[in-house]
């Protein structure tokens, strides 16, 4: 494939050869000059063709000098035709302001040249003929180059815009992938942590107690089996969700109304209170409420006492409120934790436009969340932002928040 420089050299050679043929055929004005003299301006214009891309302004200057010399000799048809390419290349590849300047020069020059010629010959019909010829040599190449340059610049701008759109699309894709990975991590954590924590604590209790009778041992083993089966079932559900497109199947599987079945698998006593009239909730709210309660029970397993927890589910006209109160044990559970549970609960509430609070409460730990059930802004959310906590249960000295739910509300 020829490079642009080689293309210009080949074009210049072809133009020079064509100019020589025209000179040999007598395509020049005979004023007594020898035909060989016309070769010099022809060669100068062809040199401008060679430099048309690398030095467009110099090519334009060479074309102008050659045209003046050729007009003084004749002029000749070949040189005039090649000068049009010098003008075209200078405007197309040269500085942008050069196009406007050349348009004024060639337009005014065509009119002035036609007027002077008509005045000299005393035939004003020559004004029209010479003016048109001068416009064809000067104005037409300039206007053509301006139009071509505008289209070329527009194409460059469109390519840049396409590149920007592709870059933005890639950023959107990366953001979507990151959000999806975060959501998947949250779902996996909430599904697995509860079941595995129950299995670990119950099996540890069996190993630590040598005085358990057969009935108690059987009950603990049944609970371990139930948590194992439920954990595998939820894993299969998650895998099925990952393998198919469409609506999120998890949102159809778990509902806040399933809290009683969730309590039965916790392995510790839970006192449940329900206020208001239970009703069908949006799928996202149902799933978020279920997962928040599930993760709260996991934290009770890790950090609570034998007294278990107290749960209040409050159905209000425009939101549903969940509160989980539990004591904090003195002994560590020995179960590993990365602190992702509270982060996941907060994310679920925030994504739905709700409020989340977790922190020390009197002698224990409280988790409280309000999830709006309509598209509007949730009402009654008057918690002070400074009371929001992200620490794991058992950290710091328990303190009593100023705007808190009283124990009596759960009894």
Q: Is there a domain that residue 237 lies in?
A: no
Count CB atoms within 10 A of the CB of residue 342.
21
**Residue that finishes a domain, picked among 144, 166, 188:** 166
- pLDDT at position 382 is 38
Distance CA 366, CA 301 (A): 14
- pLDDT at position 244 is 60
User: Does residue 124 sit in helix, strand or coil?
Assistant: coil
Name the residue among 166, 193, 151 with its Cα closest to residue 344: 193
Backbone angles phi, psi at 314, to 5 degrees: -115, 110
User: Does residue 235 sit in helix, strand or coil?
Assistant: helix
Please check whether residues 279 and 406 belong to one and the same domain. yes
- pLDDT at position 351 is 84
Domains in the chain, number:
2
Q: Widest CA span of the chain, in angstroms? A: 133
Per-residue pLDDT of the chain (411 residues; tens, 9 = 90+): 778 889 999 999 999 999 999 988 888 888 777 888 999 999 999 999 999 999 999 999 999 999 999 888 878 889 999 999 999 999 999 998 998 999 998 888 888 877 777 776 766 666 677 778 888 888 999 999 999 999 999 999 999 999 999 888 888 888 888 877 777 776 766 666 666 767 776 777 677 777 777 777 777 787 777 777 777 777 776 666 666 655 444 444 578 888 888 888 777 788 999 998 888 888 888 888 888 888 888 888 777 777 888 999 999 989 999 999 988 876 555 555 556 678 888 888 888 889 999 888 877 889 999 999 875 444 434 343 333 333 444 443 333 333 333 333 443
Distance CA 113, CA 117 (A): 6
Burial 299-323 (b: 16+ CB within 10 A, else e): bbbbbbeeebbbbbbbbeeebbbbb
Q: Does the predicted model carry a pTM greater than 0.85?
A: no
Q: Is there a domain that residue 277 lies in?
A: yes
Count CB atoms within 10 A of the CB of residue 69.
19
CB 284 within 8 A of CB 272: no
CB 176 within 8 A of CB 310: no
Please check whether residues 144 and 288 belong to one and the same domain. no
- pLDDT at position 377 is 41
Phi-psi region of 29 (alpha: psi -120 to 50; beta: other; left: phi over 0): beta
Q: Is there a domain that residue 248 lies in?
A: no
Tokens of 317: 């006209």
Element (H, E) at 68: helix 56-73
Q: Is there a domain that residue 403 lies in?
A: yes
Q: Is there a domain that residue 26 lies in?
A: yes
Please check whether residues 292 and 410 belong to one and the same domain. yes
Owning domain of residue 337:
255-411
Tokens of 198: 């129950």
- pLDDT at position 180 is 74
CB 343 within 8 A of CB 364: no
Question: Residues in the chain, how many?
Answer: 411
Name the residue among 36, 114, 38, 23 with its Cα closest to residue 73: 38
CATH of residue 296: 3.30.565.10
Distance CA 181, CA 176 (A): 8
Q: Is there a domain that residue 220 lies in?
A: no
Name the residue among 275, 265, 330, 323 with its Cα closest to residue 304: 330
**Residue that finishes a domain, picked among 134, 149, 166:** 166
- The residues near 29 (Cβ < 8 Å, ≥ 6 apart) are 74, 75, 76
Q: Is there a domain that residue 140 lies in?
A: yes
Element (H, E) at 320: strand 319-327
Please check whether residues 270 and 147 belong to one and the same domain. no
Please check whether residues 155 and 269 belong to one and the same domain. no
CB 366 within 8 A of CB 399: no
**Residue that finishes a domain, picked among 166, 201, 220:** 166
Please check whether residues 267 and 368 belong to one and the same domain. yes
Element (H, E) at 356: strand 355-361
Please check whether residues 273 and 128 belong to one and the same domain. no
Please check whether residues 153 and 282 belong to one and the same domain. no
Residue with tokens 């124990």, as numbered in its chain: 407
């Amino acid at each position: 494939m020829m490079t642009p420089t080689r293309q210009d050299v080949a074009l210049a050679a072809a133009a020079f050869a064509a100019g020589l043929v025209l000179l040999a055929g007598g395509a020049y004005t005979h004023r007594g000059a020898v035909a060989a003299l016309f070769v010099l301006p022809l060669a100068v214009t062809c040199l401008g063709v060679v430099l048309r891309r690398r030095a467009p302004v110099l090519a334009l200057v060479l074309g102008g000098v050659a045209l003046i010399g050729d007009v003084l000799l004749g002029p000749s048809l070949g040189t005039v035709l090649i000068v049009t390419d010098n003008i075209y290349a200078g405007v197309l590849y040269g500085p942008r302001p050069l196009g406007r300047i050349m348009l004024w020069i060639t337009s005014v020059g065509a009119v002035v040249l036609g007027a002077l010629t008509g005045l000299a010959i005393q035939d004003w019909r020559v004004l029209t003929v010479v003016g048109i010829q001068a416009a064809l040599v000067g104005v037409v190449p300039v206007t053509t180059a301006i139009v071509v340059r505008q289209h070329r610049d527009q194409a460059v701008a469109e390519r840049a815009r396409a590149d920007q759109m592709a870059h933005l699309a890639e950023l959107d894709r990366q953001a979507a992938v990151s959000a999806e990975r975060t959501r998947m991590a949250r779902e996996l954590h909430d599904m697995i942590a509860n079941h595995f924590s129950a299995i670990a604590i119950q099996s540890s209790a069996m190993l630590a107690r040598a005085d358990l009778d057969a009935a108690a041992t059987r009950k603990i083993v049944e609970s371990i089996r139930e948590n194992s089966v439920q954990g595998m079932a939820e894993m299969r559900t998650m895998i099925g969700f990952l393998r198919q497109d469409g609506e999120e199947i998890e949102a159809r599987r778990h509902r806040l109304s399933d809290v009683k079945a969730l309590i039965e698998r916790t392995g510790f006593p839970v006192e449940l209170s329900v206020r208001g009239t239970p009703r069908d909730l949006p799928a996202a709210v149902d799933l978020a409420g279920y997962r928040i309660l599930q993760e709260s029970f996991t934290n009770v397993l890790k950090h609570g006492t034998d007294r278990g927890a107290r749960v209040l589910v409050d159905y209000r006209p425009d939101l549903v409120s969940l509160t989980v109160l539990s004591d904090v044990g003195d002994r560590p559970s020995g179960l590993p934790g990365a602190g992702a549970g509270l982060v996941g609960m907060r994310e679920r509430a925030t994504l739905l436009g709700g409020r989340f609070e977790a922190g020390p409460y009197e002698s224990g730990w409280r988790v409280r969340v309000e999830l709006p059930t309509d598209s509007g802004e949730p009402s009654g959310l008057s918690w002070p932002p400074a009371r929001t906590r992200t620490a794991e249960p058992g950290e710091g000295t328990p303190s009593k928040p100023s705007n808190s739910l009283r124990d009596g509300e759960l009894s």
